């Protein structure tokens, strides 16, 4: 019987699950034996569960109905499917550990850690800082603990990658006591950025240690300025609400707007949280959808305005991160939008012509890894993020450290 690692990655509207061999999980990233994803969860969209093998061949494709449209229901469906599989797809394997993406690690968690009751309680206390993610992350931990009794559960944090930032970049201009109490810039999407750094070292080793801006564009979106493989500055800060315009999140906002809404519109803290996290962003701007694909297909002027707003925010933050890096050598797109929306990439790069980016239109349209012409002063790339492989690698390290 083969020992395997299971990874769980619960996002704001999706859950990703993957199965990896324990053997060979060293510092390199390895492909999963099979991967599954449930998306459209709790978002008023069509919820769908798909699983495919390492070669991309479909193993399962079904529409989720009723209670299975929730995060908990979709996870239960995935675990049920796994339990029914024979040895050929890994169902007969022994699960040696489960690695989890945890969005917020707070002050104390800057490296992967084995989860116990005390760790779980501390992570639950951070739920108000990431209400679209942390509750689902921890629900996955509890479900996996119940499904795989006695099996180690390992937390891998999105915030950890950004712990290399200087104090200058981590502080708000607030009294020092508040910083010491944990009110600071954390940054998120760290597992994705770690995946891109590892891949870029293989794809373009001559650029891997230089100044790179990575744009993780999806329903949740952020950008990160990276130098020598380490985070220097990023657009998300105290919570995953800050920075870029997102699917339903407002992104950067004057804090006085919150005070105004509460004082002049009589909104409660819960109502403001719902507005900023669930009713704003592309959905709020367009009044149509939070899905970039639906907006791109729409003829409504509000859809075009929402897309233009998103692009403008990316371009402005590109300038901010370039300044933080004191220059830039490469730009990398990743995430659901960054990887798949060629026309949107082209518009962003066109607006970033001041960087010296010379786009290869054919390469961009074909989704090739390199998007720019030879000799372009700043090169642009698109790479598919693999957070699950990063989680598996970290989980294996924790197991080895524990003997």
Segments making up each domain of the chain, as ranges: 3-157, 205-382
pLDDT greater than 90 at residue 389: yes
d(C-alpha 92, C-alpha 298), whole Å: 46
Residue 279 exposed, middle or buried by CB count within 10 Å (0-12, 13-18, 19+): middle
> Within 10 Å of residue 298's Cβ, how many Cβ atoms?
16
Q: What is the pLDDT at residue 216? A: 98
Q: What is the pLDDT at residue 256? A: 98
Highest mean pLDDT among 78-92, 127-141, 266-280: 266-280
d(C-alpha 198, C-alpha 212), whole Å: 13
Looking at every residue in the chain, the average pLDDT score rounds to: 92
348 or 399, higher pLDDT: 348
Q: What is the pTM of this model?
A: 0.92
pLDDT greater than 80 at residue 195: yes
Q: Which residues are catalytic?
A: 158
Share of the chain above pLDDT 70, in %: 94
Contact 66, 56 (CB under 8 A): no
CATH superfamily of 3-157: ATPase, nucleotide binding domain (3.30.420.40)
Sheet containing strand 113-114, edge to edge, reads 58-63, 48-53, 34-39, 14-21, 3-10, 94-102, 153-157, 113-114
In sequence order, what are the beta bridge partners of 212? 226, 330
Phi/psi at 98 (nearest 5 deg)? -125, 125
Which residues does 217 contact at the CB level (< 8 Å), separation at least 6?
244, 314, 333, 334, 335, 336, 337, 338, 341, 344
CA of residue 157 relative to chain centroid, distance: 11
CATH superfamily of 205-382: ATPase, nucleotide binding domain (3.30.420.40)
- The model's confidence at residue 91, banded by pLDDT at 50, 70 and 90, is low
pLDDT greater than 70 at residue 260: yes
The domains spanning 3-157 and 205-382 adopt the same CATH topology: yes
């Amino acid at each position: 019987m083969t020992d395997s690692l299971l990874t769980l990655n619960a996002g704001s509207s999706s859950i990703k699950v993957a199965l990896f061999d324990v053997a060979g999980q060293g510092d390199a990233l390895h492909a999963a034996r099979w991967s599954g994803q449930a998306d459209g969860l709790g978002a008023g969209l069509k919820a769908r569960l798909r699983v495919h093998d390492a070669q991309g061949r479909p193993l399962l494709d079904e529409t989720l109905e009723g209670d299975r449209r929730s995060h908990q229901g979709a996870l239960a469906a995935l675990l049920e499917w796994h339990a029914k599989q024979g040895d050929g797809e890994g169902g007969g394997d022994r699960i040696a550990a489960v690695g989890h993406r945890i969005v917020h690690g707070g002050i104390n968690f800057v490296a992967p850690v084995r989860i116990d009751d005390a760790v779980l309680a501390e992570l639950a206390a951070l739920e108000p800082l990431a209400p679209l993610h942390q509750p689902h992350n921890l629900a996955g931990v509890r479900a996996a603990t119940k499904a795989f009794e006695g099996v180690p559960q390992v937390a891998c944090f999105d915030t950890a990658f950004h712990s290399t930032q200087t104090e200058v970049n981590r502080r708000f201009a607030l009294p020092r006591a508040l910083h010491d109490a944990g009110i600071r810039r954390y940054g998120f999407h760290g597992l994705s950025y770690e995946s891109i750094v590892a891949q870029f070292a293989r794809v373009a080793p001559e650029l891997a240690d230089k100044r790179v801006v990575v744009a993780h564009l999806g329903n949740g979106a952020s950008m990160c300025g990276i130098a020598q493989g380490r985070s220097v500055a990023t657009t998300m800060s105290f919570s995953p609400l800050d920075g870029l315009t997102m699917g339903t999140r407002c992104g950067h906002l004057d804090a006085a707007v919150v005070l105004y809404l509460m004082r002049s519109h009589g909104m409660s803290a819960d109502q403001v949280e719902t507005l900023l996290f669930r009713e704003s962003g592309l959905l709020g701007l367009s009044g149509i959808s939070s899905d970039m694909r639906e907006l791109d297909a729409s003829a409504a002027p509000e859809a075009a305005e929402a897309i233009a707003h998103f692009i403008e925010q990316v371009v402005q933050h590109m300038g901010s991160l370039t300044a933080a890096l004191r220059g830039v050598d490469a730009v990398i797109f990743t995430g659901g939008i960054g990887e798949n929306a060629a026309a949107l990439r082209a518009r962003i790069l066109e607006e970033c012509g001041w960087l010296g980016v010379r786009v290869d239109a054919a390469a961009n349209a074909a989704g090739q890894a390199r998007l720019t012409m030879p000799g372009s002063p700043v090169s642009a790339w698109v790479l598919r993020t693999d957070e699950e492989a990063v989680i598996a690698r970290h989980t294996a390290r924790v197991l080895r450290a524990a003997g």
